[in-house]
Each structure stands twice: as structure tokens, then as C-alpha cells.
Structure 1
């Protein structure tokens, strides 16, 4: 064998080893990330999750596994798993995060947020409180806040029509495990009753509770109108949710992967705004065409005033619960809304 032939063979082996090394490096860098949310297939959080997944997988070698409501437990369970690093991403509403981050309960101060779509979207895009202040609060709890986004106007369902706080007296209204939301319904004259989501349908069906609140798409998706057919649009707020990552996981990502995650969150945010535009009307149409027992009541301005007058006591409770941090956040919220 000639020296030249031996050298050619050596170069071929070296090239082979180099190619294998590159493939191995690529395999090491590609990851299978895990993401859990609180809703069912086709609901707002699910649509957001799959848009996020779409962007990640279209723009990298990473894959993303999405877990829906119940697959890994309730909302509290998936948050614990994210903080423990078992999950990389989680979508959880402030209604549940409020136990961990009290300031997140600000979204449950009634009549603080606007209810028209255009103003709500502008607020989420431009609010300093949401885009600058909240990320710091989440970071303190080991979470990287990637985005907050609106899902829909809150609607109350009841066993009978009610248009005044007096008519809500002694009505047990299911609330998330959120102290400020309980204060809201106490102020409204009702009896707040915290319950996990999985128990709500049965509790309404057996009259253990007489009502609950949720965006209309969720009432349609969960078929809550079957056991709580009177829908009341009180105009008191929008359901908000937050998508976040385990902070240690996020901080350990390369600059390239951090940019990928941030861009995916932005992409999904824009897509979800398109999705929710008109969603409430479509969901309400499905509900009313599915049941002739459903009634729809939209409070007029005079009726809203009777509820709105009770909002200050909820603000006071929020400040009591959160101290100077909450007071500053509430001030910024109001300034952001004024700037709209």
C-alpha cells in the first residue's frame, strides 16, 4: 500500500469522524421541551400552546410536547412541576398564580380593566405594568414571564337571572382558589365558594353552588350552560392568563435559544389575538343554538353602577394583601389605562 493511499484513507476516516461529531453535537443540542396549560383541546390556551410549538419546531431542531388540562393534574400541580423543573413551560392564569404571586390578583379587581376588544389589546401591548413590572415579580418565584394575554370577557352563570347585588345574596358562586376573587364576590353580595375546576360541573348540577364565572368560550367548551343556563354579562373584567418558563431552564439556554423562545412567545401572542377576535360571539351563538333554556342578560349602565360602587373595597383588600408593591402596581395599572 502506498503512502499516498494510506493518507487518503486517513483523511476519509477523519472526515467520517467529523461528520459523526457534528451529528452527535446536533443531537445533544436538540431537546424535547415540555409545556402544560389549563384548558381543553381547541381552547384559547391550547391554541396559544400549539402556535408556540409550531414556531419552535419550524425554526429549530427542538420538539415541544403539550399537555392539556387534567393530563398532569390541576393548575396547582402543573405550576409545582414547572417550579421543580419537570416542566419547562406552563400557562397559568393569575387566578391560580395569585397564591404564589399576590400581585397577580390585580386582574380580579372588578371594573379596573376595559371590556372592549380594541382597548384590551392595546393595554396588553403597551402596559408598563404588564411588560416591565410583572416579569420582575415572576422572576422572584423562579419563573420567566414570557407573555400575558387576554382570553375573553368574564361572564357570570347562575341558576336564575340576577341584575343587582341584592339578587346575588346567598348565591354560592364558584371562584378559583384566589383570595381577591373571593373578596370580589363578597362585595357583589354573593357567597364565594373556592373549588377546583374538575368539580364545578357536578357542583352546579347538584346545586352545591348556584353559579360561577368564566369567559364565554370556556362556558361553551365545558358545557356549563347545561347546568347553569342564565348568562349574565356584568362588564366587570377580562380573563387574563400568563405563559412562563422555569427560570433556571430559561437562564441556562443559549442566547440563540432564548431568542427562539421569546420570538415564539411573540408569534403565539399575535396569533392568539386573531383567534379571540369574535370568539365570544361565535361561542355564544353555539350555546344559544344548543339549548332553549339559556337566557342572556347584559347589564345596562345603571345596573353596572350598583356593582361598580362596590369595587373600591376590593381595591383596598388588594393593597392590604400586597402592601407597597401592590399599591405601586395598581398605580401603574391605572396610569397605563389612562394612557390608552
Structure 2
């Protein structure tokens, strides 16, 4: 973050704090930024949250989809500075700030199917009791986490084994554990901000990337890659946070207003995602009839699962006892939720 940006953020944050101090009881406009378009999963969640807040209070929610305030790193900086009251960001990016959040990128830890994850995200002790303190250390109030869909690989060449990823430059989020994951899978991980990915694939600077199917369809990744591969290695997770100083400064009834709106939006987004991957794949096939869709068999997935053990060990090495405790608790929570 440049000195100029720091001064700019500080000035805006100071002005925002001055306005807020005039009287919290007055109706406010709260700013909420996220990493996707209005029609994508995070955007649908944000619109439901806005609807609930505005229906049950005099407050207004101003939404900022991807690109309107910069990249993921920019909106996180603005949320921490108090310019934004709410931010939705994947642990894939937050992992550099909160290393333990990278647990969501340990391959084959989460079930790929979103319908198996609702109870886990609702009731997980790791999410609801352990993570909030880690986010609070970074000036953030963790409001919820939710799944966005099974992660698929999109590549220029067919992938059925880790050997097929040899020398493939594979885009990953700026997340140390994702780098470790794709090294273990045999690829050359290449961290890139999202805004550069389409062009990098188009010019062959990179040859692959991973994301949920709705995002592959929405961003037209199928135009610059030829294979969609279901490896079953993850389900994309995201987190909604508030600036902690803002949240702590609210009256108790306003904090409850926010929590209630989050709960309604959570249930709404799970319902919205039912069949979303299938619908997205149909749209991709319609737009690109020659796209190759590969679903790895359990036998083909086994080498990737064996590589995942190495990544899990790296996660513990990166995060120490804190990360190990969260990983162990998540495994217990997942077992309880998916049996």
C-alpha cells in the first residue's frame, strides 16, 4: 500500500468516523464490497442482505461489486481502514492476512457438493467459535462463511493425472497454501490478481486456473481454456466480515439487525445454489459445444488425494498449534455434519 493511498484512506476513514460520531441513531448508508458481479453468488448474497437491512431499518446499503473499488487486496484494506463497513472476501485472499484461514484450501478436506455443507457452516465450532478471534485481531468482525460451489480446473490440455500438470503454469490466488497445493499436484503455481487472469490465459502466460463452475461461466473462462476437469478436491468458501470498530460501536439492537440479516442471507444463498453448477455447465456447453468436460474417477483422483497429505502437513507447518487445532476441529465438525 503506497504512502499516498495510506494518506487517502486515513483521510476518508477519519471523515467517516466524524460523520458517524454525529449520531449513530440517525439512518446511515453502509458500504459493502465483494469479489464478484451482482449476478454471481456473492452478489446474490449481498443483495439479500441489503434487502433485509433496508426492510427492517432506516439504514441503506450501498453495494460495490468486483472492480468498482479495485482488486481483492484493495477492498480488504478499505474494510480494515473503516472506509467500508462490510466486505466479502474468500479465505483464498485473506489467508495471507490470517494464515489459519488457508485451512479451507487443504485439498479434499471439504466435500465438493455444496448440499453436504449447509449444516457444517451453520454449526461448525471452528468457524463460529475459533475463527472470530483470529479475524478480530485484524480489525474484522466475522459475520459468516458459506460455500460457493465445487471447484473445477480449467486448462488448455487434458488433465487426468498430476503428471499432466507438469510445466503447466496454473493461476492461483495470492495464497501460500494454494501455491503449495499446485506444487504438490505437479503444476507451476502462478499467483495473479483476478483482473489479469483472462488475458494471461489468452496470451498463454498461464495455461490453467481453478474456480466454481458459475464463475467459469460468468467470466467466460471457457473461451480461453479447452478442458473443464472435476477433481473433487474442494468447494470454494467465502467469508462476510464487518469492520470491527464500526460493528462494536453499534447499539445492541443494530448488531442483532445485522446478524439476523446475515442469517436470512445465508439460508437464501444455500437455496439459490441448488442446481447452480449444473445450470452453469449447461450454459457453458451451449456457448461452447466443443468444450471438453472430464470427471475423474475415484482411481484417477487417488494420486491427487495422496498429494493432499503433503499440503495438510505444510498447512500445520505454516500455522503451528493454532492451525493444527482448527484443522482437527474442522474434521470433527465435518464428520458430524456429513454423516
- Using the size of structure 1 for normalisation, the TM-score is 0.91
Counterpart position of 2:142 = 145
Equivalent residue in structure 1 for 2:99, among 97, 102, 123: 102
How far did 1:121 drift?
1.5
Counterpart position of 2:76 = 79
Counterpart position of 1:117 = 114
Question: Per the alignment, in what secondary structure is the counterpart of residue 150 of structure 1?
Answer: strand
Question: Per the alignment, in what secondary structure is the counterpart of residue 117 of structure 2?
Answer: helix
How far did 1:188 drift?
0.3
1:222-233 correspondence runs (5 A)? 222-233=219-230
Q: Quote the RMSD (CA, aligned, Å).
A: 1.2
1:38-53 correspondence runs (5 A)? 38-53=35-50
Counterpart position of 2:309 = 312
Does the alignment pair 1:296 with 2:293?
yes
Q: Deviations over 1:91-149 (max 9, x none)?
A: 00000000110000001100011123332112112211111111111111110000000
**Partner Cα separation in structure 1 for residue 225 and residue 120 of structure 2:** 32
Structure with bigger gyration radius = 1
Q: Deviations over 1:300-319 (max 9, x none)?
A: 00001111011111011101
How far did 1:27 drift?
9.4
Q: Deviations over 1:233-281 (max 9, x none)?
A: 0000100000000000000000110000100111110100011111000
* Contact in 1 for aligned 2:115/2:274 (Cα 8 Å): no
**Partner Cα separation in structure 2 for residue 71 and residue 308 of structure 1:** 38
Counterpart position of 1:169 = 166
Deviating 4+ runs (over 2 angstroms): 25-28
Counterpart position of 1:15 = none
**Pair 1:257–1:112, CA change in 2 (3 A):** same
**Pair 1:312–1:263, CA change in 2 (3 A):** same
**Partner Cα separation in structure 1 for residue 335 and residue 56 of structure 2:** 39
Q: Deviations over 1:208-237 (max 9, x none)?
A: 000000000000000000001210000001
Question: Per the alignment, in what secondary structure is the counterpart of residue 327 of structure 2?
Answer: helix
Question: Per the alignment, in what secondary structure is the counterpart of residue 151 of structure 1?
Answer: strand
Question: Per the alignment, in what secondary structure is the counterpart of residue 157 of structure 1?
Answer: strand
Aligned residues: 316
Counterpart position of 1:68 = 65
Q: Deviations over 1:189-211 (max 9, x none)?
A: 00000000000000001110000
**Partner Cα separation in structure 2 for residue 114 and residue 28 of structure 1:** 44
**Partner Cα separation in structure 1 for residue 332 and residue 148 of structure 2:** 22
How far did 1:26 drift?
9.4
- Using the size of structure 2 for normalisation, the TM-score is 0.91
**Partner Cα separation in structure 2 for residue 116 and residue 158 of structure 1:** 22
**Pair 1:27–1:87, CA change in 2 (3 A):** closer
1:1-340 correspondence runs (5 A)? 29-340=26-337
**Partner Cα separation in structure 2 for residue 265 and residue 112 of structure 1:** 25
**Partner Cα separation in structure 1 for residue 253 and residue 230 of structure 2:** 45
